[in-house]
A = this chain, B = another copy of it.
Amino acid sequence: MAAKEIKGITPRSKDYSQWYLDVVAQADLAENSAVRGCMVIKPYGYAIWERMQAEMDRRFKETGHVNAYFPLFIPKSYFSREAEHVAGFAKECAIVTHYRLKNDPDGKGVIVDPDAKLEEELIVRPTSETIIWSTYKNWIQSWRDLPILCNQWANVVRWEMRTRLFLRTAEFLWQEGHTAHATREEAIEEAKRMLGVYADFAEKVLALPVIQGVKSETERFGGALDTYTIEAMMQDGKALQSGTSHFLGQNFAKAFDVQFLNKEGEREYVWATSWGTSTRLLGGMIMAHSDDNGLILPPSVSPIDVAIVPIYKTGEQLEQIRKHVEPLMDEIRKRGFTVKFDDNDTKKPGWKFAEYEVKGVPVRLAIGARDLEAGTIEVARRDTLTKETISFSTAGAHIEALLDDIQKNIYNKALRYREEHTVTADSYDEFKAALDGGNFVLAHWDGSAETEALIKEETRATIRCVPFEGDKTPGKCIRTGKPSPCRVLFARAY
């Protein structure tokens, strides 16, 4: 949108954190705002989020969920009702105490009106379990009212001290599912189903391979009996928690007194789940796939799949090219992809090539007078940075196959990277060396929170999850030597 020069991007090898910020800035995805920790999601970044939303929303609806909307504010007292929840969650948050400004009697500005103090402070939602379960109380009387399968697309606020665009921001956009069930089994099944939906979305749409598993007690969501997670590997070997799904048991039903009459006519507390993914996942995708030349986007979420750059000297030539490529553009659209013909006259082709590269457009075409004569077109793919000249007459089919290949290649590359950087360790020295080498480490752990804390303190690694699939052979804890039922996944994490 704004005119800008394509500037250098710090190489990953030099400074991975700075590289990420450079990619986000150069691809025009987001920027920091005047408000501490809150980001502006720029049009190009938001267009990616919209495609992610559409894909997720479709999957939620296909699994029987409906959307609803609950209040932004939560009365402070609600956070005292579920003890684990407040301990884990509601401490660092934005608090509304007043509801009116007035003119500053001493100046031109405005001040908070001291007479407009709220009787009870309101918390800007960091997550919505409490306000939603206070609402569900009125919606649920009998087993006939169950299950309730609601999702909400919303903004939430957590007063993070150290923020980074998309990955950790004070305000972020997310979806939060909140479901209510008649039985424990059904709730667990739902929580696992939604983790499966997240994993499928991450792998098929974002081309992001993930490890599914269950969190240790320490890493659980505040108020959950179990937290299921998908964990992705970034290119520095660190883990990014990319989505979580919680089996909440009857904790919130008890906190807000939500009971139902079961088929036997007895009163029971309702069983709950919640599950969420956020704009953080967008950051994870950027970090996992991009390279030193900028953003790499899987075609499934790229706002532009194919960009066409005409090479021309005169307006007449431009119109010739436009007319020539129009049938190809129609064909590309019919095949289900988005295509843009870049006839911006204030920019040179070289600038446009660089721009589409840094913005991660999967396929870039170039066509000039010589191509028109020869019946050819130049095709550049972003993921491998390779170019070829192909026959114009079969370009449509070629491009469709190429986009399909790009989607697969991005996934396979990320999967290969993770496989090459996942090791098993059987001693603490091996463990620490593996972490320093930028790896996921599968290792034995004695199951105690104390040992987990000790390992974290000594190595900065946390237990990402107990993977659903993997080595279930018992062994000995790498730190204490005590018995361990199976290997768990350790990593340093964002």
A171 within 8 A of B: yes
Q: Could you tell me which A residues sit within 8 Å of B by CB distance?
A: 1-3, 31, 33-35, 38-43, 46-47, 49-50, 66-80, 86, 90-102, 108-110, 112, 121-124, 131, 134-135, 138-142, 144-145, 148, 150, 154-155, 157, 159, 171, 173, 346
Tell me which of B31, B69, B98 contacts A95 (CB under 8 A).
Answer: B98
Contacting residues, chain B, for A39 (C-beta < 8 A): 71
CB neighbours (8 Å) of A42 from chain B are 68
Whether the pair B71, A171 counts as a contact (CB closer than 8 A) is: yes
Distance between Cα atoms of A313 and B50 in the complex (Å) = 47
Name A80's closest neighbour in chain B (CB-CB): B109
Note all chain B residues with C-beta closer than 8 A to A31. Answer: 135, 138
Q: Report Cα–Cα, A156/B140, bound state, in Å.
A: 29
- A69 CA to B40 CA in the complex, in Å? 6
A386 and B457 alpha carbons, distance in the complex (Å): 73
Report whether B112 and A97 are in contact in the complex, using a CB–CB cutoff of 8 Å. yes
Bound-complex Cα distance A155 to B72 (A): 8
Q: Distance (Å) between the CB of A262 and the closest chain B CB? A: 14
Whole-angstrom CA separation of A102 from B159 in the bound complex: 14
CA distance A109 to B85 in the complex (A): 12
- Write the chain B residue with the least CB distance to A71: B38
Indicate if the CB atoms of B94 and A96 lie closer than 8 Å: yes
Q: List 13 A-B contacts (CB under 8 A).
A: A1-B148, A2-B138, A33-B70, A33-B135, A43-B66, A46-B69, A69-B173, A72-B171, A76-B110, A80-B108, A86-B110, A93-B100, A112-B121
Partner pick for A73 among B35, B67, B110, CB 8 A cutoff: B35
Work out how many copies of this chain go into the complex.
Answer: 2
Q: Which of B95, B108, B142, B150 is within 8 Å of A99, CB to CB?
A: B95
- Please, which residue of chain B has its CB at the minimum distance from the CB of A92? B100
Q: Give A154 Cβ to nearest chain B Cβ, in Å.
A: 8
Known pairs A1-B145, A2-B139, A144-B346. 10 more at Cβ < 8 A?
Answer: A33-B70, A33-B135, A35-B71, A38-B71, A73-B171, A76-B110, A80-B110, A86-B101, A91-B102, A96-B97
Verify A94–B122 contact, CB threshold 8 A.
Answer: yes
- The reply to whether B100 and A73 contact each other, CB–CB distance below 8 Å, is no
Question: Is B95 a contact of A112 with CB atoms below 8 Å?
Answer: yes
Q: CB distance A35 to B144 under 8 Å?
A: no
Q: Is the CB of B100 within 8 A of A97?
A: no
Name which residue of chain B comes closest to A57, CB basis.
B50
Q: Which chain B positions have C-beta within 8 A of A95? A: 96-101, 112
A66 to B145, CA, bound (A): 40
Contact between chains at B2 and A141 (CB < 8 Å): yes
Nearest 10 A/B pairs, CB to CB? A38-B71, A43-B66, A80-B109, A41-B69, A95-B98, A99-B159, A2-B139, A94-B96, A97-B97, A35-B71
* B75 near A34: Cβ-Cβ < 8 Å: yes
Contacts of A78 in B (CB 8 A): 34
The answer to whether B94 and A68 have CB atoms under 8 Å apart is no
B residues near A50, Cβ cutoff 8 Å:
67
Q: Are A101 and B90 in contact (CB under 8 A)?
A: yes
Least Cβ distance of A339 to chain B in Å? Answer: 16
Q: Closest CB-CB distance, A233 to chain B, in whole Å?
A: 28
In whole angstroms, what is the CA distance A171 to B77 when docked? Answer: 20
Closest to A94 in B: B96
Write out the residue numbers on chain B whose beta carbons fall within 8 Å of the beta carbon of A148. 1
**Among B73, B79, B138, which residue has its beta carbon within 8 angstroms of that of A101?**
B79
Contact B70 A46 (CB under 8 A): no
**Which chain B residue has the least Cβ–Cβ distance from A169?**
B71
Contact for A3 among B68, B71, B141, CB less than 8 A: B141
Chain B residues with CB under 8 Å of A72's CB are: 38, 124, 155, 157, 171
Task: Select the residue from A33, A102, A138 with max chain B CB neighbours within 10 A.
Answer: A33
A153, B149: Cα distance in complex, Å? 24
A346 contacts across to B, CB distance below 8 A: 144
A112 to B117, CA, bound (A): 13
Closest B residue by C-beta to A147: B1
Of the candidates B73, B79, B86, which one forms a contact with A94 in the assembled complex, judged by CB atoms under 8 Å apart? Answer: B73
- Residues of B within 8 Å of A75, CB to CB, are 34-35
Residues of B within 8 A of A71 (CB): 33-35, 38-40, 171
Instruction: A68 to B28: give the CA distance in the assembly, Å.
Output: 12
Contact A46/B33 with A1-B145, A80-B110, A99-B94 known, Cβ cut-off 8 Å: no
